[in-house]
Structure 1
Amino acid sequence: MSITVTTWSLEQTSPADLRPAAEPGDDVRIARAEVPSPEFSRFLYTAVGGDIHWTDRLAMAYAEWQEWLGRPGVETWVAYEKGTPAGYVELQAQDGGSVEIVYFGLIPAFRGRRIGGHLLSYATARAWDLAERWPQLPPTKRVWLHTCSKDGPHAMDNYLRRGFTLFDTKAEEEPETAAPGPWPGAGV
């Protein structure tokens, strides 16, 4: 059995496009995971994406994670609430001054608490100033991302409220699969 999955690509072409969300409160902070850690990154990936069908990285070996995370211009920014990871954003510098928001999301228990808008705002600003931390990279000229119909129900609205604009839409048939959860055998 298959399902139709719609993928939307969105972008900002100027830092002035960013419309920040309100901060959710004193108990939330955002920090960059500066030491590449395949274990931590895989934890974030499965904890955030397990119930929304993120599967493309599940088969990656440790060395593949290490190589990916060690690339210049790849950054992981983590939102914490009272010291507990609540969600994350992964940025990737690309040719021509583009920066992709490769992954963005919240662990299910932290959704619906105004953390997502703040995390997206903060990470988008970090995408715009990425070259300040990576002097070998050109200045950012464009920040872009994609979201799909399998993502959370508020994802698209969050991107639009932060100032992203739609530039492409695609629909493809995919085999219907069960959500893997955060680890094998875990309920979602």
Structure 2
Amino acid sequence: MKTVPAEVTTWYLEQTSPGDLVPARPAPVQIVRAEVPSPEFARYLYTAVGGPHNWTDRLVWSHDHWQEHLTRPGVEIWTAWDRGTPAGYVELLPPEDGAVEIICFGLVPSFIGRGIGGHLLSEGTARAWDLAARWPGLPATTRVWLHTCSLDGPAAVPNYTRRGFRVYATRTRVEDVWERPLGPWPGAR
């Protein structure tokens, strides 16, 4: 498969206080922290959620690179489970000067439209705000931020803003993207 140039808009969003979070109504899922660093599970989530949206940066990571990333203090993956099946996830990067990044967030395609995304984002954002409580030595969270782009699903920006995130920067540029999104496996929708 080949890449093609495409105009991609990226929005950068933030919360600067725990009071900014506007929780969604709960969804019938369990949200559990993956406490055992597992490169296989993390890569599965990354491809299952990101494949339809041209998430490709981490596809070249080796097992060792995944392991090194996942064992950094403060890196956390929170997974939404629907009756034993992973429905989506939030990945947190530890604070840099108090700023926690939600580096990955999304749902497995078959779980989109079930009211899970808002609840998962609410819980993931709350866990970003209290990250230092689970990781002694990390600075207290003073800001939670993320970015999304026009390659992500159409509900991304509205979900973020409904949860209390504010756009603080926007960038548009031409990028090389796959002609068709990769999907969670070759040939997937």
Alignment TM class, shorter chain as reference = over 0.9
Task: Name the SS for the 1:78 alignment partner.
Answer: strand
Tell me if 1:10 matches 2:13: yes
Aligned CA RMSD, in angstroms, stands at 0.8
**Counterpart residue identity of residue 32, structure 1:** R
Displacement over 6 Å in runs of 4+:
none
1:182 is displaced (CA, Å) by: 1.0
The 8 Å contact of residues 80 and 87 in structure 2, kept in 1 or not, is answered as yes
The 8 Å contact of residues 30 and 82 in structure 2, kept in 1 or not, is answered as yes
Provide the residue aligned with 1:143 in structure 2: 144
Q: Which consecutive residues of structure 2, in runs of 5 or more, have no partner in the other structure? A: none
Task: Name the SS for the 1:122 alignment partner.
Answer: helix
Counterpart CA distance in 2 for 1:181 and 1:151 is 12
1:94 is displaced (CA, Å) by: 2.8
Counterpart CA distance in 1 for 2:42 and 2:91 is 9
**Counterpart residue identity of residue 140, structure 2:** P
1:59 is displaced (CA, Å) by: 0.5
Provide the residue aligned with 1:19 in structure 2: 22
1:172 is displaced (CA, Å) by: 1.1
Q: Which consecutive residues of structure 1, in runs of 5 or more, have no partner in the other structure? A: none
Paired residues for 1:83-122 under 5 Å: 83-122=84-123
The 8 Å contact of residues 95 and 138 in structure 2, kept in 1 or not, is answered as no
Counterpart CA distance in 2 for 1:86 and 1:132 is 26
1:150 is displaced (CA, Å) by: 0.3
**Counterpart residue identity of residue 124, structure 2:** A
Provide the residue aligned with 1:36 in structure 2: 37
Tell me if 1:52 matches 2:53: yes
The 8 Å contact of residues 54 and 177 in structure 2, kept in 1 or not, is answered as no
Encode CA deviations 1:64-121: one digit per residue, 9 max, x unaligned: 0000000001000000001100000000013211100000000000001110000000
Task: Name the SS for the 2:61 alignment partner.
Answer: coil
Encode CA deviations 1:17-76: one digit per residue, 9 max, x unaligned: 000000123xx1100000100000000000001111110000100000000000001000
Count of paired positions:
185
Counterpart CA distance in 1 for 2:58 and 2:150 is 19
Calculate the TM-score normalised by the size of structure 1. 0.96
1:176 is displaced (CA, Å) by: 3.6
Provide the residue aligned with 1:80 in structure 2: 81
Counterpart CA distance in 2 for 1:17 and 1:151 is 23
1:8 is displaced (CA, Å) by: 0.3
What is the percentage of aligned positions where both structures have the same residue?
61
The 8 Å contact of residues 95 and 139 in structure 2, kept in 1 or not, is answered as no
Counterpart CA distance in 2 for 1:32 and 1:69 is 13
1:187 is displaced (CA, Å) by: 1.6
Higher mean C-alpha deviation, range 173-182 or range 102-111: 173-182
